[in-house]
Amino acid sequence: MHVDFDHLRPEERRLVLVASEVKYRELMAQLDWRKVVALVGGPLAGGIVGVIATALGPTLAASGYLASTFQASETRKQGFLERLTTKGEIPIPHLSPRDAVERFRFDHGHPVDGAAYVLDPCVEDHYLAPAVANERLAQEKLAAFVQIAASLGARRIEIVSGEVLSRGAGANVDVPLDEAAGQVGLTARFDQKNSVARQVYVELDEPPLPPHLPEALARWTEVDPQLRALVQLRLNARPRTAKISLRFENTIDLDARAIAELASRKIGVGGEYRTLTASLWSFDVEFWPTS
């Protein structure tokens, strides 16, 4: 869907399609064999309409995070035969690879022609491959916690405990805690029972600045109430120690089915979907005294 990105609010471009004109026409021209079969066999029940649930899939269309993007979408007018036989217009804001690079930020090696990207809710104008988005956001959350604690004057951060909250996809046993730690980028030691051992995660020198919250990290306090509470406590009460438990789970409601719906249109999604295991990690934070 061609749009003017100068007039799109961020919530209206939470999902974008990066594609050259040649690639976009190729994606639009794909035959929809369900329509072809129905056309040959007789009239389609209810008629053929270019709604999102038909064009992409019900799971993707039901995403709360992408609702504003889809609401702002308008399908273009197609020819009669085209509407009857092809998958047609893709109801995702579309821009060329060159425009994408000039306007937004992507991970190394991206954007790829013909691929979709989802907006990072906590890093301005940064787009992630949908298949790895939730895993990446979990890793960014851990990094944000350490940076926020450091900005608040942390002297030492210790890992106290960890717990897996969900089971592996299609498995009957819990995902090992060390694997859950690896998903969020947490380096820790585990005993023979695969329980985390209390340990120092990071030690920091005395900060040159008084406790503060960097503007670039402020969005994380809007997403996670525990981070918000830590910031408010430190800035208002100046405690010497604090406890915090961070829950890591899907930040945006895109799962394997939603990613498969994009891939079914031959749209790149960044590889195989990575299921994020929900986990809970507890930390003790010791702060430098404030003058």
| 50-95 confidence digits (pLDDT tens) | 445 555 677 887 888 988 887 776 544 444 334 433 456 788 899 9
Any residues with CB less than 8 A from the CB of 192 and at least 6 apart, and which? none
Within this chain, do residues 280 and 208 fall inside the same structural domain, yes or no?
yes
pLDDT at 103 over 60: yes
Q: What is the pLDDT of residue 88?
A: 63
Residue 91 preceded by cis peptide, ω within 30: no
Per the CB < 8 A criterion, the answer to whether 278 and 137 are in contact is no
**3-state SS string over 197-265?**
CCEEEEECCCCCCCCCCCHHHHHHHHHCHHHHHHHHHHHHHCCCEEEEEEEECCCCCCCHHHHHHHHCC
* Last residue of one domain, picked from the residues 65, 100, 128: 128
Instruction: Report CA-CA distances (Å) from 176 to 196, 236, 250.
Output: 11, 39, 18
Within this chain, do residues 61 and 148 fall inside the same structural domain, yes or no?
no
Indicate the DSSP class of residue 32. -
Report DSSP letters for 120-186, one per residue: -SSSTTEEE-GGGHHHHHHHHHHHHHHHHHHHTTEEEEEEEEEEE-SBPTT-SSBPPHHHHHHHHT-
pLDDT at 48 over 60: no
* Last residue of one domain, picked from the residues 105, 128, 151: 128
User: 178-194 pLDDT, tens per residue?
Assistant: 999 999 999 989 888 88
Q: Is the pTM of this model over 0.75?
A: yes
Within this chain, do residues 155 and 98 fall inside the same structural domain, yes or no?
no
Per the CB < 8 A criterion, the answer to whether 48 and 82 are in contact is no
Q: What is the pLDDT of residue 191?
A: 85
Closest among 144, 128, 148, 146 to 136, alpha carbons compared? 128
Within this chain, do residues 101 and 210 fall inside the same structural domain, yes or no?
no
- Asked if the structure places residue 260 within a domain, the reply is no
When divided into structural domains, the chain yields a total of 2
* Last residue of one domain, picked from the residues 72, 107, 128: 128
